[in-house]
C-alpha cells in the first residue's frame, strides 16, 4: 500500500542552517492501517507527510504507493491517491463554494467517470444524511458558503469530503490542533468513524497523546528524522500516556510540546 524506504531530506545542506529533517526513515503501511505519529518539535513529522504528499521531494530513498514509485510525481499528480486534512481549517475546503458544491466536487474526484454535472436529488439526499450524522446542523445549510462555517465545522466537512473521495492514503496533519477541546473531540470521533467506514489507510500526526492512543491501530514516535519507537496493534492497545511519556524520557534531549498532554 504505502512503502517508504530509507528516505532522507536535508534542508539547506552545506550551510550553517543545515537541518536533517528525515534521516533514512522507513515505514510500511498495509491496506487499512491507521498509524498515529507523535514526536518532539522538529522531529520531522510534517516533513514526512509533505514527502508522501509530494509537496517536498526527498534527497534519496523511495516512496511507493500500491507498488508504484511516486518519487517523481508532483503534488497534484499524487492528489488522486492522497487525501489530506491540514491543521488550518481554511485549507481543505473552497470558501466561496457552497457546502453542496464542495461535497459534489469531492464525490466527483472519487469517481473516475459517469457522474453528471448537476446535483441530483439523490445526491442531495445523501449529503443531507451524511451531514446530519455530524450533528452540527449543517444538513439544512446545503447552499450556505463554506467560508461562513466555523473551524470545527470546516474540519468536519473536510473529513467527510476525504471519505467521499476515498483516497488510497489519508494524511491528517494535526487536524484537530486549532480547535477548542469540545470540537476537537467531535472531529476526533468523526475521524474514527470515517476512517473505519472507508477502511482508509491513514497516517495522522498529532501532538495529543490521548488522541494518538485513541485512534489508529499502530503508533510511531519520531525524533531527529527517525522512528525511535513503534507500537503494533497489540502493543498499542496496552499503551498508556504514562507509558508514552516514559518512552519519550528515554530519548536524550527530546523536548515535548506543551500541547502533548492536552486532551
Ligand atoms: N521548508 C523548510 N525549510 C527549512 N527547514 C525546514 C523546512 N521544513 C522543516 N524544516 C526543518 O526540518 C526539521 C523538521 O521539521 P518538521 O516541521 O518536519 O518537524 P515536526 O516534527 O513536524 O515539528 P513540529 O511538531 O514542531 O510541527 C526542523 O528542524 C525544521 O526546522
The DSSP secondary structure of 187-211, one letter per residue, reads HHHHHHHHHHHHT-EEEEE-S-HHH
Q: What is the pLDDT of residues 151-192, one digit of tens each?
A: 889 989 998 888 888 899 999 999 999 888 888 898 899 999
119 is in which domain, residue-wise? 2-261
- The secondary structure of 28-56 as a DSSP string is EE-TT-EEEEEESTTSSHHHHHHHHHTSS
Query: What is residue 115's predicted lDDT score, i.e. its pLDDT?
Result: 47
- pLDDT score of 236 more than 90: yes
CA distance 190 to 170: 14
CA 23 to chain CA centroid, nearest Å: 21
Ligand 1 environment, Cβ below 6 A = 11, 19, 21, 39, 41-47
Asked whether the beta carbons of 63 and 3 are under 8 A apart, the reply is: yes
The total domain count for the chain is 1
Does residue 204 contact residue 36 with C-beta atoms inside 8 Å? yes
Longest dimension (CA), the chain: 60
Probe target for ligand 1 pocket from 7, 37, 44, 257, with the most ligand atoms within 8 Å of CB: 44
Q: How far apart are the C-alpha atoms of 6 and 97, rounded to whole Å?
A: 41
CATH number at residue 227: 3.40.50.300
What average pLDDT does the structure give for the chain?
89
Amino acid at each position: 500500500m504505502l512503502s517508504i524506504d530509507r528516505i532522507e531530506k536535508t534542508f539547506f545542506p552545506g550551510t550553517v542552517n543545515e537541518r536533517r529533517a528525515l534521516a533514512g526513515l522507513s515505514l510500511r503501511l498495509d491496506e487499512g492501517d491507521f498509524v498515529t505519529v507523535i514526536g518532539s518539535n522538529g522531529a520531522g513529522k510534517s516533513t514526512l507527510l509533505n514527502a508522501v504528499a509530494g509537496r517536498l521531494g526527498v534527497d534519496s530513498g523511495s516512496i511507493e504507493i500500491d507498488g508504484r514509485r511516486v518519487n517523481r510525481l508532483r503534488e497534484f499528480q499524487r492528489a488522486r491517491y492522497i487525501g489530506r486534512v491540514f491543521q488550518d481549517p481554511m485549507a481543505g475546503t473552497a470558501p466561496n463554494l457552497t457546502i453542496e458544491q464542495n461535497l459534489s466536487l469531492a464525490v466527483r474526484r472519487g469517481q473516475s467517470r459517469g457522474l453528471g454535472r448537476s446535483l441530483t436529488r439523490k445526491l442531495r439526499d445523501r449529503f443531507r444524511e451524511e451531514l446530519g450524522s455530524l450533528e452540527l446542523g449543517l444538513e439544512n445549510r446545503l447552499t450556505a458558503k463554506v467560508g461562513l462555517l466555523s473551524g470545527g465545522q470546516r474540519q468536519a466537512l473536510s473529513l467527510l469530503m476525504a471519505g467521499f473521495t476515498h483516497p488510497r492514503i489519508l494524511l491528517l496533519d494535526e487536524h484537530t490542533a486549532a480547535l477548542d477541546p469540545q470540537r476537537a473531540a467531535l472531529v476526533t470521533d468523526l475521524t474514527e468513524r470515517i476512517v473505519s467506514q472507508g477502511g482508509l489507510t491513514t497516517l495522522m500526526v498529532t501532538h495529543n497523546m490521548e488522541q494518538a492512543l485513541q485512534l489508529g491501530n499502530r503508533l510511531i514516535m519520531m525524533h531527529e528524522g527517525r522512528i525511535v519507537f513503534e507500537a503494533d496493534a497489540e502493543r498499542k492497545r496496552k499503551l498508556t500516556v504514562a507509558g508514552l511519556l516514559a518512552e519519550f524520557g528515554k530519548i536524550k534531549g527530546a523536548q515535548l510540546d506543551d500541547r502533548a498532554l492536552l486532551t
